[in-house]
A and B are shown apart, each in its own frame.
Chain A
Amino acid sequence: MSNRRLVRLAGMAACALGLLIAAGSQTILGGGHWSAPTWVGTAAAQTGPGVGKPVARPKLMGNGERLVEADANGHPKGIKVALPAKFQALLDSYAIPGGDIMPASALCDPFPEFNGIAIDSKAGIAVLSDTNLKSVLIYSLAVPAPPDDSNLTQYLGWVKGPNTFLSFAAGVAVDPVRHEFYTTENDVGDDVAGFPYSANGNFHSRVLAVPHGSYGIALSQRYKQMAVSIQHNAEIIFYRLQAHGAERPLRSIRGPHTGLADPHGVVWDDAHGEIFVSNYGNWNQGYWDADYSGGGKYFPPSIRIFKDDSKGDAAPIRVIQGPKTELNWPTGIAVDPVHNELFVANEAANQILVFARDADGDAVPLRVLGGPRTGIRYPMGVAYDASHDQLWVANFGHTAVVFGRADEGDAPPRRVIRNAPEGTPSAGFGNPMALAYDSKRDQLLVPN
């Protein structure tokens, strides 16, 4: 492995065999072999009101990292984990050249990378999902995190491990009545996992099977339901609160009149009886319908607002869409019902857009928060803290930045929540399932 290669990788990656490489330079900052994440927590810590129960440590299976839930006989639950016997025999006899070859380079991030966020102002917590290490971190809303503090911010809890069922943790919602939080698993794991606020470590979650591609989640105390956006099937699907197992949905909003196309963030505004959905605009019925021959489509991004008792092929009651809106991959969203404002994490533009809660059509944002001083970079989640009148923004990476609600423009954050030391490069990977080699530039191309 030459320096040439290390330099080439530095622009896009976080670590190589544990050697942290400063982005854009040849400086090697550390050393040591990268090791797999270790699970935090013990069975004793896995107790909490209403959700989960202490469990015996599951059996370690062959893959060396993930632990697999076992049935009463000690067999993996419904899962085949053994290699075919004929192939295993070849491995055992070392009949196949190659084998357990150490990588010459490793592009990976040993720290969490934030994604979704939700806040319970009364309980004083912010819950942030992490796609990289497949975890959830819980912070106090009052945590001191001055922007010039380069250290990791102290968290209250860090939930991760196989019993959590967290995989590609995306959307987060909090239930301030039952003191529970929920996360969606956007890829690989098709579930919504529920936890008590007190969860920590490898907590045994309450899990619900959902369609593939879940992203946003929002709760209603009035209906005692949860609404989950499904990217792939372009729908909002509803379950009762605390649903688990293979419970069937209560209803869904789905169909051509909904205008849903790759929906992401969801907010349930109980006070006004409305559901807000951020919509990327990608649409392809052919993904799930082999007989469909209409082809895929790109629609403009939008925020679509539905009556909260909608079901079926219901049309939205309002749609925020158009060039004046500046929407560009609107991802996480939040509503402040007191000041009647809607916050949108405008991911591709590195902005937070603020609209009037009842905005409609090609509306101009009331405020735009974005710029180099804000520290907003690939914002995936946004949440409003009513108790401090502050806005939390979760970047896809190593920081969440906190602002005053009315801050705008290139305003600096009041606080910076760090899940890695300042300056740690972020790989920015989100389930890298494909690769290509650019022979002209000697670069690797990694889509998310």
Chain B
Amino acid sequence: MAHGIAYDPLHDVVIGTEPLAGSIVFFRGGSQGNVAPLRVIQGPHTEIHYPFQPAVDVKHNELWVADVVSHGLLVFPLTGNGDIPPLRVIRGNRTQMTGASGVAVDTDHDLVIASGSTHGAPAIFTFDRRASGNVPPKTVISGPTTGIVSGWHVQYYRGKIYAIASNHYLGASYDQGGFEPRPKCDGPLLAFTGPLGFVGVWKETDNGDVPPQAIIMGPASELLHPDGLAIDPGHNELFASDSVRNGVFGYLVPDFFTVAGPAR
């Protein structure tokens, strides 16, 4: 099971996160079949709990990982291996961030973008890329105007944040440990419910309760509750996976990749 994947073009390596083993696995690009990983980051020093989306920073040779259960962003050497401690961790009450599920890096402006929750509401954060510890975010996009009811993965390209608003109501019946049904649980909830999800684009400088600059949403888009997100600006393409559709959908959206030129 993998809840995150990234490609490292510098080393030609595919990177996957594995929540059920608390690990990050690295495979040679183009690998196929039952092959062993090149490297595995795993162990008590890694501080990995429930890794979701990874993000590659080839400029600084770093790998970022969003961790849902520890509510943090972990940074490892891009060529790391074994039971190694993270280089930096962004985590704590001053971050205002819980349930970090997505991460992307902007090396031009030394920012890292994360999706998660703040005070129980879905949110998109930016932090100083070089920061470590319990640090406040630079910006937080959150609120009813955003349309995000639940988030998932994010991507970044030239001043724009591309974010998945899954808007999937994941009502777990049991506690995280699987010991007891949650209070007031009278049975399982229907699996695929919640408002229609979408792909949203924000300016990296947006802050507060800001609507997306552009969206992909609606019945013709085929998206119900999208999850994964990949962009290929070179071909003006954006791809979203949808676990309800059990499929992957590609969109030709050249306007989504025009340089925003955000004021700074």
Contacts and interface: CB of A to CB of B under 8 A. Distances in A.
Contact of A287 (B69, B168, B246, B249): B69
Interface of A is mostly: loop
A440 B29 contact: yes
Contact of A295 (B44, B69, B246): B44
Interface residues of B, number: 109
- The bracket for how many chain A residues form the interface is 35 or more
B145 interface: yes
Contacts of A231: 1, 20
Interface string B208-230: 01011111111111101101111
A435 B173 contact: no
Contacts of A389: none
Interface in B5-37: 5-7, 9, 12, 14, 16, 18-23, 29-30, 34
Given A69-B190, A104-B250, A296-B48, A434 B212 contact: no
A443 to B, nearest CB: 8
Contacts of A80: 149, 169, 194-195
Interface stretch (A120-128, A244-252, A415-423): A244-252
B235 A83 contact: no
Contacts of B50: 284, 286-287
| The 3 A-B residue pairs with the shortest CB-CB distance in the complex, in nearest-first order | A296-B22, A100-B218, A108-B247
Contact of A439 (B9, B40, B173): B9
Contact of B247 (A61, A65, A288, A427): A427
A354 interface: no
B261 interface: no
Contacts of B69: 286-288, 290
Contacts of A131: 246
Interface of B: 1-7, 9, 12, 14, 16, 18-23, 29-30, 34, 40, 42-50, 53, 69-70, 83, 143-147, 149, 152-153, 167-174, 176-178, 180-181, 185-196, 201, 209, 211-222, 224-225, 227-232, 234-235, 237, 239-253, 255-256
A373 interface: no
A153 interface: no
B211 A90 contact: yes
Interface in A294-308: 294-298
Given A106-B249, A432-B248, 5 more contacts: A188-B170, A191-B187, A207-B187, A298-B40, A432-B246
